[in-house]
């Protein structure tokens, strides 16, 4: 027995020894991998130098841009491997693959006529340029748009690959991936504190103890930082005094200010409605007139096609100017003013896209005099409506890119040249351009929302978005280095990160709505695309489930039924209330402990 015990102890220590050495070597291996992978991080050196020269606030904007490049690249890889690659494999017959086209049943022939003019014969070179910019002509028949994918199943040596199902699931997958990745990033960067009442970003301790960016290496940047910190501390102290004054307002003053605020909010709503209505009318006009064959090749036609994009860009530019002018009259504290203006701008930008899509759909389903009866949508004007929506998204994205480049080239650089070389008083008052982070961020989030909505209709759009953001990184970096003036209000890295991710999340949630309506509500076009044999795009999924064995079918139907959904919802509510109650209890305990410390 003594021998076996001894053997046991020896065995144990050997096991412990092995565990220790293996964990050590694992740690070493992990640190080696981490060291190597740090070389693979995109733009590590560029962002590090920006941080050194301009501080972490502006650096967070560039990190955000890098995140979007990676996100779009991964979405593109997803769509490519599950949708585009099988299509290419089957069209060129690689790996002994064959294609199955299932002819549509129970559909009137008139719905299936779709002849995209692929530019046959001799055409002007100008037509190619026009097609490149508006997605019509030769681009319409390429794999850029939904209409190209018309295969129903691909047989790759005995395996059947259901392409329509893959297309729909890839769409859901990239939406879910974006959602989870954004949530993960926002949780990483921000320690939300439910226990303490005060806003952690605005606390004085945060500004003083974590105020200095230790990574600043440039003496000029340090001078700017001194000034911005001084300004920030002074503004906050003044704001505190202002808050006291506000608390001492008389009843009469309060009524006056509240009625003024209501009035201004009504003006804001009127402006927003004006923008939305003009976008609606312009979209209807553009759709009606760009289908005219007689002046299809004139420059006017290109202008008409781009009219919605132009109007949206104008609205996005003028709206924020008006909002920041109006908010001065509402007499809020400076911090709240900024938040409210930002909220209004975000709403304006994202709602503009929504209105554009809404007006497109009203056109597609405009059934004036029985135009839609055979197919469920206006088949005469839009035989392949998904490609049309894809084209609109493509135009929006290209125009957005052109505007960003044009502003950088024709506004920022000349402005800098004028201000440095011309000492005219008017121009000096105009001043250098500030690098307004919130405006720049809203710009790229607007572009990303377009990409999310458009990828379902145009699978190559994420690739275009990746290239676009890649180029924008370098453009913005060059503009920043050459034309920057210190921003009066300092930007904090962590609150910026959180703000960017929240707005991005709002954009994503907004993208769910049009996609949901397109996939589940509007009948899919019968003349082109993968969902010709289904009434809506969503129908692929119930159709596939019906082919499963009955046991599995019942599981799926069970999940979708009320008998499952209602208890699930109730349990979710219970968990949420439990967590909130726990947080409240912790808060009470912390207050009690603080009191005890004081009494000690």
Residues that bind another protein (CB under 8 A): 31-32, 34-35, 38, 48, 52, 56, 190-191, 193, 196, 198, 200-201, 203-206, 208-219, 221-223, 226-227, 229-230, 233-234, 237, 240, 492-495, 498, 594, 597-598, 600
| Closer CB to another protein, 32 or 108, in the complex | 32
Pairing label, strands 153-156, 97-100: antiparallel
Q: Which of 112, 3, 12 is nearest to 525 (CA)?
A: 112
CA-atom Rg of the chain in angstroms:
29
Task: Please report, for residues 102, 143, 152, 286, 524, the alpha-carbon distance to residue 166 in angstroms, rounded to integers and kept in the order given.
Answer: 16, 16, 11, 34, 16
3-class SS of residue 217: coil
Task: Count the neighbouring beta carbons within 10 Å of the beta carbon of residue 373.
Answer: 10
Question: In terms of CB distance, is 49 or 265 closer to another protein?
Answer: 49
Six-digit token string for 315: 């609205």
Closest approach of another protein to the CB of residue 579, in Å = 20
By CB atoms closer than 10 A (0-12, 13-18, 19+), residue 61 is buried
- Min dist. Cβ of residue 14 to another protein (A): 24
Alpha helices per DSSP H over 408-484: 413-421, 425-430, 437-454, 461-483
408 sits in the region (left: phi over 0; alpha: psi -120 to 50; else beta) called: alpha
Q: How far is the CB of 425 from another protein (least distance, A)?
A: 25
- What is the rounded distance in angstroms from the CA atom of residue 95 to the CA atom of residue 104? 27
Residue 341 DSSP one-character state: H
Q: Which residue has the tokens 């992978």?
A: 37
Task: Show Cβ contacts of residue 458 under 8 Å, excluding neighbours closer than 6 positions.
Answer: 144, 145, 146, 390, 391, 393, 394
Minimum distance, C-beta of residue 580 to another protein, in the bound complex (Å): 20
Query: What is the spatial distance between Cα 572 and Cα 574, in angstroms, rounded to a whole number?
Result: 5
Helix locations, 291-410, DSSP H:
299-326, 334-364, 385-407
Q: Which is nearer to another protein, 34 or 252 (CB)?
A: 34
What is the Cα–Cα distance from 404 to 220, expressed in whole angstroms? 28
CA angle, residues 276, 277, 281, in degrees to nearest 5: 120
Q: How far is the CB of 197 from another protein (least distance, A)?
A: 11
Toward another protein, which CB reaches closer, 194 or 262? Answer: 194
Phi then psi for residue 155, to 5 deg, are: -100, 115
Partners of 485 in the β-ladder: 434
In the bound state with another protein, the residue whose beta carbon lies nearer, of 38 and 547, is 38
> Judged by CB, which is closer to another protein: 240, or 253?
240
Using the minimum distance from each CB to another protein, give the nearer residue, 122 or 598: 598
Least distance from another protein to the Cβ atom of residue 246, Å = 17
Residue number, 31 or 428, with CB nearest to another protein: 31
- Specify whether the CB–CB gap between 432 and 494 falls below 8 A: no
Query: Based on CB atoms, which residue is closest to another protein, 211 or 374?
Result: 211
Shortest approach of another protein to residue 160 CB, angstroms? 49
- Least Cβ distance, residue 592 to another protein (angstroms): 13
Say if residue 502 is exposed, middle or buried (CB neighbours under 10 Å; 0-12, 13-18, 19+).
middle
User: Which residue's structure tokens are 């019509």?
Assistant: 136
Q: For another protein, which is the closer residue by CB, 170 or 221?
A: 221
Question: CB of residue 153 vs another protein: minimum separation in angstroms?
Answer: 50
- Measured CA to CA, the distance from residue 494 to residue 474 in angstroms comes to 23
User: Structure tokens of 408?
Assistant: 């950088």
Minimum CB separation from another protein for residue 190, in Å?
6
Could you tell me the smallest distance in angstroms from the CB atom of residue 489 to another protein? 15
CB of 62 to another protein, least distance (A): 14
Of 128 and 201, nearer to another protein (C-beta) is 201
Kindly tell me which of 212 and 329 has the beta carbon lying closer to another protein.
212
């Amino acid at each position: 027995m003594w021998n076996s015990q001894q053997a046991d102890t020896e065995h144990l220590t050997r096991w412990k020894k092995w565990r220790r050495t293996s964990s050590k070597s694992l740690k070493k291996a992990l640190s080696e991998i981490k060291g190597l992978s740090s070389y693979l991080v995109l733009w590590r050196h560029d962002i590090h130098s920006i941080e050194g020269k301009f501080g972490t606030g502006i650096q967070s904007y560039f990190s955000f841009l890098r995140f979007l490049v990676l996100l779009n690249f991964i979405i593109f890889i997803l769509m490519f491997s599950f949708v585009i690659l099988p299509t290419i494999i089957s069209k060129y017959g690689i790996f002994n693959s064959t294609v199955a086209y299932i002819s549509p049943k129970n559909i009137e022939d008139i719905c299936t006529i779709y002849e995209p003019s692929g530019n046959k014969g001799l055409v002007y070179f100008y037509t190619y340029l026009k097609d490149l910019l508006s997605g019509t002509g030769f681009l319409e028949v390429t794999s850029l748009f939904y209409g190209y994918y018309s295969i129903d199943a691909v047989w790759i040596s005995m395996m059947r690959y259901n392409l329509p199902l893959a297309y729909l699931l890839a769409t859901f997958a990239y939406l879910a991936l974006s959602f989870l990745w954004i949530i993960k990033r926002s949780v990483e960067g921000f320690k939300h504190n439910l226990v303490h009442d005060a806003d952690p970003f605005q606390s004085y301790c945060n500004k003083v103890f974590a105020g200095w960016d230790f990574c600043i290496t440039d003496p000029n940047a340090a001078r700017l930082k001194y000034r911005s910190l001084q300004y920030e501390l002074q503004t906050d102290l003044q704001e505190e005094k202002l808050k006291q004054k506000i608390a001492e307002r008389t009843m009469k003053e309060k009524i006056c200010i509240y009625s003024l605020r209501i009035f201004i909010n009504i003006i804001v709503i009127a402006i927003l409605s004006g923008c939305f209505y003009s976008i609606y009318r312009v979209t209807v006009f553009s759709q009606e007139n760009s289908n005219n064959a007689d002046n299809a090749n004139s420059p006017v036609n290109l202008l008409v096609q781009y009219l919605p994009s132009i109007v949206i860009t104008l609205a996005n530019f003028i709206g924020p100017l008006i909002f920041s002018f109006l908010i001065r009259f509402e007499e809020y504290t400076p911090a709240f003013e900024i938040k409210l203006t930002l909220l209004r701008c975000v709403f304006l930008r994202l709602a503009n896209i929504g209105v554009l899509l809404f007006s497109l759909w009203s056109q597609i389903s405009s059934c004036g005099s029985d135009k839609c009866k055979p197919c469920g949508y206006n088949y005469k004007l839009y035989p392949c409506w998904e490609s049309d929506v894809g084209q609109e998204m493509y135009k929006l994205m290209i125009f957005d890119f052109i505007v960003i480049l044009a502003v950088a080239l024709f506004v920022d650089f000349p402005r800098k040249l004028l201000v440095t070389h011309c000492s005219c008083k008017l121009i000096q008052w105009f001043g250098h351009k500030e690098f307004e982070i919130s405006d720049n961020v809203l710009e790229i989030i607007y572009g990303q929302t377009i990409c999310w909505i458009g990828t379902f209709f145009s699978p190559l759009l994420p690739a275009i978005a990746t290239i676009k953001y890649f180029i924008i990184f370098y453009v913005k970096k060059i503009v920043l280095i050459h034309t920057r003036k210190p921003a009066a209000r300092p930007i904090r890295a962590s609150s910026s990160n959180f703000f960017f991710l929240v707005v991005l999340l709002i954009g994503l949630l907004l993208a769910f709505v049009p996609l949901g309506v397109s996939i589940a509500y509007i009948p899919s076009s019968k003349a082109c695309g993968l969902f010709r044999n289904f009434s809506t795009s969503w129908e692929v999924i119930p159709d596939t489930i019906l082919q499963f064995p009955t046991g599995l079918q019942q599981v799926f139907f069970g999940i979708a039924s009320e008998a499952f959904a209602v208890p699930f919802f109730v349990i979710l509510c219970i968990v949420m209330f439990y967590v909130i109650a726990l947080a409240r209890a912790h808060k009470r305990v912390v207050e009690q402990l603080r009191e005890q410390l004081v009494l000690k």
